[in-house]
Amino acid sequence: MKKYFLAITLFVSCFSMVSFAEETAAVNSLHQKIQHVLSEFREDINIGIYVQDAKTGKVLYKKNVDRYFTPASNQKLFTAFAALHALGSEFTYRTQLFLDYTKIRKGVLNDNLYLQFTGDPVFTAEQLESLINSLAEVGILRIKGKIIIDDTAFDQMTMSPGTSWDDQDFCWGSPISALIINHNCVKATLIPASQPGQLVKIELPNYPQSMHFINHVVTRPAATKNCVVKAKRSDETTYELSGCLSASANPYPVEMAIRNPRENVQLLLKHFLEKNNISITGAVEFKPFEMPAKPFARQDSPPLKNLIATMLKESDNTIADALFKTMGANYAHEAGSFANGNSAVREILAQAAQLNFPKTTLIDGAGSSRYNFLTPAQIVTLLQKIFSSSGGSDFVASLAISGVDGTLKDRLKDPLTLGKIHAKTGSETAVTSLSGYLETNKKQTLIFSIMINGFVDPAAKYKTLEDKLCKVLVTS
């Protein structure tokens, strides 16, 4: 009997030793493959890499994992996690119109009209028009009073500290106030003219916009290559467009940020009232008001789980920063701001997820600020927490999928990596990052974070590095 147990013990010991040896060999092989990829780039590259097994937590590779990097849009991972915990997956934004129905006489509203905006990041001009249409539907032709707009859900600091001044002209840097309509962007579509040498045609939405376009874009012969369209703000209300489009080019969309959300909503209200033949005697004022118990009409956003999916897959800055301010408002019981959003997210991470990052700076929700700093280890810690949570699979599904959708649609399309990586991208000047989950050829789920800062070469070079590293991980 003793010999029997001794044999079993020796067998188990040998099996364990073989398994350990195989695991060690696999890790060493992975290290060599990663080092080989890194050797193709500069030795002094400022890069952090952390890879671990999602199920066991075993660290498979690490390099500069506690070094602080500017994360760019990898910051949105923290915003998404905190928002789902603090607000709930079914949370919606609500934009409401109020009036005293008893004061309507013969088509005249003998009172003020009230509108409350709460920072819905996906609210559209069409939804605002629908609210105004509801007035015409009950026969209102005149408002004998003012339009009072409450936009106090957020403060009036519309750009986060540390955000590049250049970003404010582009939609990814549009102003974040409680008044968000069409992402606070103006839009145009450029269409090549029928003859080379002519200016392109500009198609605009069928409603007014608070910023205007001056067109200097010329149509070039169909064979022309390397045509570029540039936009430059010439004053507070105008963008000048220059450059060229080839005659064979597809319609070219242009989207630029507005400057003044309050001016924008007034312009749209005037247009939609006139469209419904509704006149108004008073002015538009911006201030809080005592809300009646029930709105006359309202528009709700999609639920938070849908907003999160759009934010993560498409890297939507407007949604991220609106959520950041919303969490701040709920936390501080005052107008949402980037400052109280920072405090709120830290508290949520600490209380709901036991994630304490005392030295981490979370200045905004989108990752636009250059004052944001995270480490690869912190990102992997968060991703591990998400993976182990009850809603982990839904969160993973909200990330961009390699070669399939979102910001990874045109990356990692090789059959070896297609559809196997769910991750969040990050891009700023001299910054690129990629963090998320991947499935190896052996059906092993890995959590990874790759952060690169401080390069002067084109960003595409370092995104290629990220992709090569992911391919190594998938095939390891």
- Token output for 356: 């304490």
CA dihedral 19, 23, 24, 26 (to 10 degrees): 140
Q: How does strand 238-246 pair with strand 212-220?
A: parallel
Q: How confident is the model at residue 8 (pLDDT cuts 50, 70, 90)?
A: low
Give the chain's mean pLDDT: 94
pLDDT at 16: 60
Tell me what the mean pLDDT of segment 326-333 comes to: 98
Task: From residue 334, give the alpha-carbon distance in Å to each of 246, 285, 300, 328.
Answer: 52, 20, 22, 8
| 66-119 pLDDT per residue, tens | 999 999 999 999 999 999 999 999 999 999 999 999 999 999 999 999 999 999
| 187-230 pLDDT per residue, tens | 999 999 999 999 999 999 999 999 999 999 999 999 999 999 99
- What interhelical angle do 317-332 and 338-353 show, nearest 10? 80
| 384-406 pLDDT per residue, tens | 999 999 889 999 999 999 999 99
pLDDT at 20: 54
- Say how far apart CA 291 and CA 198 lie, in whole Å: 54
pTM of the model as a whole: 0.93
- Token output for 426: 């990050």
pLDDT at 17: 61
Q: How does strand 104-105 pair with strand 147-150?
A: unpaired
State how far Cα 205 lies from the chain centre: 24
- DSSP per-residue codes, 252-317: EEEEEE-S-HHHHHHHHHHHHHHHTT-EESS-EEE---PPPSS-SEEEEPPPHHHHHHHHHHHT-H
Q: What are the chain's domains?
A: 35-90+304-474 (3.40.710.10), 94-158+260-300 (3.50.80.20), 165-257 (no CATH)
| 338-387 pLDDT per residue, tens | 999 999 999 999 998 888 888 788 999 999 999 999 999 999 999 999 99
